[in-house]
Structure formats: C-alpha cells, structure tokens
Structure 1
Amino acid sequence: MKKIFFTCMLLSFSMLSACSDKEEKPNVPNKPQEEQQTNVPNKPQEEQQTNVPNKPQEEQQQTHEHQQKPPKTNNENTVASNTQAGALKNIKDQLKTNLPITLPKGLPITKGTFLTATTKTETNQVEIVFLESKEYLSINDSKLKQPDRATAIARLSVQQYESTDEANEQISFENYSQNGGQEVDLGYNIKGYQDAGVGSLWTGWNEGRWAIATHTRTENPEAGVKLAKQAVQFLETHMLPIPKQNGFARLDVYESGNLIVWQEGKLVYTLDSIKDPLKALEIATAFYH
C-alpha cells in the first residue's frame, strides 16, 4: 500500500515538473529574442541612418552655399554691370526722378567693353550720356570724364513740358509729299522728295508718324539718296518708337548733326551726339517696346 502511494506521489511530482517546464519554455527565450529583433538593433540603426550622417551633410551643403554667394556691396545701384540689362537698370536707378522715362533695351557697344553712363537730373528734365569702357566703372564715376577711360556712344535728354501741344511744337514734323520737291524712289514702295538750298540737299520721306530726312551737300547729291535707301532698308526690319504724336529724324552723310526727336505725351526725347547716322537709327529703334 505504501509502495503504491509512493509511486502515485512520484508520478504527480513528475507531471507538475513537466507542466512547469512547458509554461516557462516560451517565455524565457522569446523575450530576449523580441528585444534583440526590435529594440536592440533598430534604435542604433535609425540613429545611424538619420541622425549621424545627415547632420554633417546638411552643414556641408550650407557651408558650400555660403561660399557660392557673392559678397554684398553697398553700391549695387551705382556699379557697372557685365550685362546691358543690369547696367541700364543701374542707370535708371541713378536718375532719381518721377518722370515716366523709357530707356533703350540695349545699345551698340564695342565687343569686350562695358556699358556705363553719366546722369544729370533736374525738376523736369534728365540727361544721360551713354558710354562704353574697357573696365568696370561706376555710373557717374569721375574717371568717365577722362577721354582715355571711356567713349561716348550717345546722349539722351528727356524733358517734360506743360502740355502736349507745347511738347509737339518741339518736333520738326513735315509731310514731305505735300511740300513738293523732286521725287525719288527709295525702295520698298517709299517715295522720297529732294529739296536743295544754301549748299545743302535734303531727301525726306514719311513713315507712319515719323518724318525722316538725310542731309548732304549739293556737290554730292547721290550720297544723300544712298543714305536714305540704307535707312529705309534698315527700318524694314526694325521699329522706331511709336511717337505720340510725332517724331523727326535727321541723318547726316558727313556724320555731324545727327538728331532724332520724338514726343511721348508731355515728354520729348532727344537723341544726339551720335556720329554714325545708321547707328543713330539703331539706338532709336532700341526704344521700341
């Protein structure tokens, strides 16, 4: 009897031990494995991929961008520019006027030179002398007065009058077909009219609201017609500014006295100090917008 009881007790103890081992087996190894797969490696990996390398890279990019930025200057509005657009903006900034002035889109300058200018501003008038220089020179730089440092391209003056009628009186507009004179064919279905007097010979014609005339001496009449034909041909592919109301251009064979004037309401634009008559036309057409 005791032997049977002892055997039962031994079997019960064995079963309890087996159950205890079975319950503890999934808990003991799984917990470290879960921590090893999720907590332990992932945290350092995330820090390594996002925090550690990116910060130096961002600082490196910011340092590179800082090195690429050009240094700021206190005279950005007065310096010359390696582009004509920049130079013209600087020139307009220096005018310091409320007059609604339009500047040309560009000027014919010698290759390898820079566009600059001197400016003068009064209450109802501004004056700009466009120059080209072989070096960067500020707008209104005192060195521009030295002939060996810069060369004048053209002079532009813009004046405001009390009324549009007064402004229109400043324009020497003529309808050459009504004035008479010897008719001459200038090409492109345009007729010119020659008029001589006091040793000078004029060949005039009209294009839209413009009156245009070439000047030569009476002993060299063909030169005036030749220049007129060249001007007509040029204006076939280039547009003069549209005047309100009229415009006048005088082109001189002997490269003296070239003058282009046009009205813009109460404003009168005057271009002069240009030797080459065809270059004078080229500069005037740059005002067309």
Structure 2
Amino acid sequence: MIKQKRWIAIPVTTAVVLALAGCGGQDNNVSQASNTSTSAAGEQTQSGSGGADFSNGTEGSGSAAVSDNNSSNSSGGTDTTAGETTNSGSESSHGTQGQPSTDEVIQEVRSQLKLNNAVLPTSFPLEQGKHLASAILSNTADAFKVNFYSVDQSVPVNDASLTASNSKAPALLASYEVKSAKDLDSTGIFPDTDLSNIPEDMSVDLGHGIKGMAEGAAGSQYLTWKEGRWTLQIRSVSEDNMNNPGIAKKMVEYLESHTLPAPKDKGFVNVEYPSGGKTVKVTVSWQEGDQIHQLQTDQVPNEALGMVASVK
C-alpha cells in the first residue's frame, strides 16, 4: 500500500518572512567573510618580515627595485628604504613540500665546517617560494667562508649549480666569513673614528639619543655614528644627493628591537652606495676572541643587520 503524502499549509506571511530572513543572514555572512579576507591581506602586507627591509630602490631613479613609500623628507635628498616592509619575508624555519628548512640547511653547513663551535647567520631575506642554498668556499680548522643563495628548488650544500659562471647562477644573498685575527691587520677593518666632540654644524639627530656626524670629502658624503661598541657609517656619492640621515634613522630604529653580536672591542657596519644609488654594498665586521667575523651582502642595510643579528 502506498502511503499518501501529507501537505502542511503554512501561512503566506510566515513563509515570506522566513525566506527573507534566510537570505539576509547569508548575505551578511558573505560580507563578513569578504571583509575579514581583505583585512588579513592588508595586515600581511604591512607586517612583512617583522621589521626587515627588502627594497633597494631610490626615489625617482627608475630602478626595478621596490621604491620607498615614505621617501619624502625635509632634506630633499633621495631616500632608499632601510626599515620599511614589503610582501617579501624571511623564510621560516619550516620546510615546504619536502624542501629542507633554513634551519636544516644551516645544520648541514655547520656539520661540514672544521672550525669547532662555528656560528652562522640563521635568518635570511628570502622571497615567498624561495629556498636557502649554500656553498662552502673555504674550510680550515681556524677559518671558513660560506656563500648563501636564494634558489627556486633546494640543492645540496656545495652543489655545482651554485658556483656556475653563467646566467643560471642563483642570486647571492650573503657571504659569511670567519678569520683568525692573528693573521689580519684589524686597523683596515675597524677604522678609528672619534665621535666624542661632533661640531654643531656636522651633528645629525638620529633619534633615541644618538647623534651622527655628517661630512663630505672627495666627492662623497659620509654619515657616521656609534651604538655601544659598534661604529656605523653610510657613504654615498655627493652628486646623488642621497638622504643618508633618513637611511641612518631607519637603521637606528631597527636596532632598537634587534641586537647585534657583542664585539670584543669594536664592530663596524659599512654601508656604501655606488654612483646612482641604485645598489648598495654592506659589510659588517666584528671581533670575538681571536676571531674576526664578517658578513657581506648587496641587500639593503636592515637586511644585513637582520642577518647579523641572527648569528648563533
């Protein structure tokens, strides 16, 4: 026997109200989800790598590098970003899709070094989807030199592709070297700079109670300051009218939340902008015990500081 279907009558007014209520709730949920997604994307863009700077462009230079959104300044000079953030970020310690993590690459390099208790940078400015690779260029019981690269796919330490002399060679992030202080003339690495009495017309307020000294010589302009045992200096070509104070202020601000290694006597951060100001060369040197550590990079100043602050 086939059972008859039972029909329940619902008043028209009630049905209409229920229908309208259901549509309204769905629209609100979609709208809220959309707003949440937009907000999250905006926060990611602003947060970047947590303070490190990835741009290396100069205002109005036409460089392919990322330009500084806050490049306006009272001096009217060109200001490269030394403390702003972009969508790039330092790679986390976790590997992705079977790729070794940055920590694992560092552990492998350290296991191959002959120097006991060797320290290395542990954080690098890698763009999204890029991975860390490394090549050991020299390796003895008291010294070593390691190059770090950004690659699309991970390769073993000392892979031949890393040092290939062709257009397929990967981007070099930094070179890190440890040398015996006994074999070096440290006066050439750590210039003796007296900033105890800066003339008023050469004094620059860099914030946080730090004063820098600005001077010009032989077509170059210099800005030098001290933080603890560290001396920091920016050199650029005078005709480029670079905003050295603006760059220095961002470096000072960055170092308020990032700590560099404590040198035995002195450390030196040398930032040099060649003619045009579109590229930069940063060399960070310091002495620990009878060893001199040195990191060299073409990344912008705060990226260099970030890599040095991660040394352990």
With the length of structure 2 as denominator, give the TM-score of the two structures. 0.61
Does the C-alpha gap of structure 1 residues 240 and 175 become closer, same or farther in structure 2, counting only changes over 3 Å?
farther
Give the CA deviation at 1:271.
1.0
Q: Does 1:128 align with 2:128?
A: no
8 Å Cα contact 2:115-2:142 kept in structure 1: no
Counterpart of 2:308 in structure 1 is: 284
Give the CA deviation at 1:220.
4.0
8 Å Cα contact 2:132-2:149 kept in structure 1: yes
Counterpart of 1:88 in structure 2 is: 106
Larger Rg: 1
Counterpart of 1:114 in structure 2 is: 131
Does the C-alpha gap of structure 1 residues 274 and 247 become closer, same or farther in structure 2, counting only changes over 3 Å?
same
Counterpart of 1:5 in structure 2 is: none
Q: Does 1:250 align with 2:267?
A: no
- How do 1:164-203 and structure 2 match up within 5 A? 170-178=189-197, 180=199, 182-203=202-223
Aligned-partner Cα distance in 2 for 1:285–1:115: 18
Aligned-partner Cα distance in 1 for 2:310–2:238: 32
Give the CA deviation at 1:166.
5.9
Counterpart of 1:73 in structure 2 is: none
More off after superposition, 109-118 vs 247-256: 247-256
Q: What is the aligned counterpart of 2:245 among 225, 248, 261? A: 225
Aligned-partner Cα distance in 1 for 2:194–2:103: 37
- Structure 1 or 2: more helix by fraction: 1
8 Å Cα contact 2:230-2:266 kept in structure 1: yes
Partner deviation per Cα, 1:84-136 (whole Å, 9 max, x = no partner) = 111100011122x1344211232121221221100021353210001121112
Counterpart of 1:103 in structure 2 is: 120
Q: Does 1:139 align with 2:157?
A: yes
Amino acid at match of 1:124: D
Does the C-alpha gap of structure 1 residues 269 and 155 become closer, same or farther in structure 2, counting only changes over 3 Å?
same
8 Å Cα contact 1:195-1:202 kept in structure 2: yes
8 Å Cα contact 2:115-2:140 kept in structure 1: no
Aligned-partner Cα distance in 2 for 1:210–1:189: 15
Give the CA deviation at 1:256.
3.4
Aligned-partner Cα distance in 2 for 1:166–1:144: 31
Alignment RMSD? 2.4
**Structure 2 alignment gaps of length 5 or more:** 1-97
Q: Secondary structure at the match of 2:292?
A: strand
Does the C-alpha gap of structure 1 residues 175 and 99 become closer, same or farther in structure 2, counting only changes over 3 Å?
farther
Does the C-alpha gap of structure 1 residues 168 and 252 become closer, same or farther in structure 2, counting only changes over 3 Å?
closer
Counterpart of 1:36 in structure 2 is: none
Aligned-partner Cα distance in 2 for 1:205–1:214: 9
Aligned-partner Cα distance in 1 for 2:260–2:301: 14
Q: Does 1:162 align with 2:182?
A: yes
Amino acid at match of 1:280: A
Q: What is the aligned counterpart of 1:264 among 278, 288, 304? A: 288
Q: Secondary structure at the match of 1:263?
A: strand
Does the C-alpha gap of structure 1 residues 109 and 190 become closer, same or farther in structure 2, counting only changes over 3 Å?
same
8 Å Cα contact 1:133-1:149 kept in structure 2: no
Aligned-partner Cα distance in 2 for 1:226–1:177: 22
8 Å Cα contact 2:116-2:141 kept in structure 1: no
Amino acid at match of 1:285: A
